[in-house]
Amino acid sequence: MNTLKSKEAFEEAKKYIPGGVNSPVRAFANVGTYPLFIEKANGSKIYDIDGNEYIDYVGSWGPMLLGHAFPPVVEAVRETALSSTSFGAPCIKETKLAECICRMANIDVVRMVNSGTEATMSAIRLARGYTGRKIIIKFEGCYHGHSDSLLIKAGSGALTFGSASSAGVVEELAKYTLVLPYNDFEAIENAFEKFGKDIAAVIIEPIAGNMGVVPPKDGFLLKIQELTRKNKSIFIVDEVMTGFRVSQNGASGLFKISPDIITFGKIIGGGLPVGAYGGKREIMEFISPTGPVYQAGTLSGNPLAMAAGLAQLTYLLDNPQIYTELEEKGSYLENGFKDAASAAGIDICLNRVGSMMSIFFTKERVTDFNTACSSDTEKFKKYFKAMLRCGIYLAPSQFEAVFLSAAHTKNDLDKTIEASFTAMKDLL
Ligand SMILES: *Cc1c(COP(=O)(O)O)cnc(C)c1O
């Protein structure tokens, strides 16, 4: 497979863009090669500038649940653009998309922003403003975008405050973020026992997808809900990835929880830059202009983004069978991946919820960040490259998800499984 044009394009990009990319994981540094430059994509297929075709399991990191260039989304964007790309004034599409999200997620009101990062950052500020408290709790291995309070990793001991996971995040701020192990009931109970009345919010990925896919243990989310309610803290569920991927009602619907605030992104924008956060009216009206917590956006509620999101969510509402089909495809692919690994005698732990899954190269059951880190990333690297040579485009990092879309066909899945048999054998 010839990818020389991508190699050259990356060199050219590095002249004008730091690291050649606008989001770090795209640089393929984790898999020790250069990124492919993409020319176009359609349905389940993505094409690089050298003309190679791949079956795409990145799906723009989540948004493309219905596949690339999905006609109703493209049509909505095209039609809307003819009436200008932005007004900076209210438009009806904002209300329609908000109504759609409120119905699907079973929340009262929702505010549109431009990315998942903005959504979680604003949700944290709102929680702090509403409760008048400072401490937030997050879980190790969960990613909630790159705002300062959330770029924090676990400290050295249990129940010690975190430290910045990025240069430029002031340590004083890190002192207000407590980082706990995912799926650890005792840790969250202890944290509330010790700091309960000072905890503004707990934020969690209801199915972790940013340390690879790690589902919550039975009752873990409900336990957090119970503790936050008892202590009058805000329960923030970050559904930027899971929101309307794992069910028509998101992960919150799937696990029957009712968070105070839910954050969204990715799928709700149909591939355009959108985020949102919403929840109980009483809490949400604490943001400006009705409340004292400031939050704004020049391009928030942008008509193109609203049109794309509305087209995608409307389609999901009208076609609930998609979720059954995604589950069937997910299960089929899971079994294929497992067969390929066992045929080669390679130990893997495959975690999956519906259309999101990860293959960890480990004997251990992966239930949190520590066990995720037991995966042999050298093996992953080789596997990734072998799959790419077979025309399968996986996320270029062990700690990301494989995303299926409604556009993946049985033929795509069979080709992928066949490639996996080859790639697993290459690991020996
Ligand atoms: C992708 C993601 C974010 C960040 O969203 P951006 O649009 O990249 O800022 C936040 N939370 C979760 C769970 C995500 O998967």
Cα 342 to ligand 1 centroid, rounded to whole Å: 33
pLDDT at 158: 62
Place of tokens 């599409």: 93
Identify whether 266 is a catalytic site residue: yes
CA 372 from chain centre, in angstroms, equals 17
What are the DSSP E strand ranges found in 281-372?
349-353, 356-360
Distance of CA 301 to the CA centre of its chain: 20
Per-residue pLDDT, 179:
95
Which atom of ligand 1 is nearest to 115's Cα?
Answer: 7
Q: What burial letters (b/e) apply to 116-135, b meaning 16+ CB within 10 Å?
A: bbbbbbbbbbbbbbbbebeb
Q: Is the CB of residue 115 below 6 angstroms from any atom belonging to ligand 1?
A: yes
Q: Which of 45, 138, 266, 381 is catalytic?
A: 266
Tell me whether residue 223 is exposed, middle or buried, using C-beta atoms within 10 angstroms of its C-beta: 0 to 12, 13 to 18, 19 or more.
Answer: middle
247 ligand 1 Cβ < 6 A = no
- CB within 8 A of 129, min separation 6: which ones? 286, 291, 292, 293
Residue nearest to atom 6 of ligand 1 (CA): 116
φ, ψ at 236 (rounded to 5°): -105, 120
pLDDT (0 to 100) of residue 157: 67
Burial of residue 318, with CB atoms counted within 10 A of its CB: 0-12 exposed, 13-18 middle, 19 or more buried: exposed
Quick one: tokens of 159? 């129940």
Q: What is the CA radius of gyration of the chain?
A: 21
Percent of the chain with pLDDT over 70: 99
- pLDDT of res. 106: 98
- Mark whether 238 is an active-site residue: yes
Average pLDDT in the 156-163 region? Answer: 74
Q: Beta strands 163-164 and 152-153: pairing type?
A: antiparallel
Residue with the smallest CA separation from ligand 1 atom 8 is 116
Ligand 1 atom at minimum distance from 23 CA: 8
Residue 155 has pLDDT above 80, yes or no: no
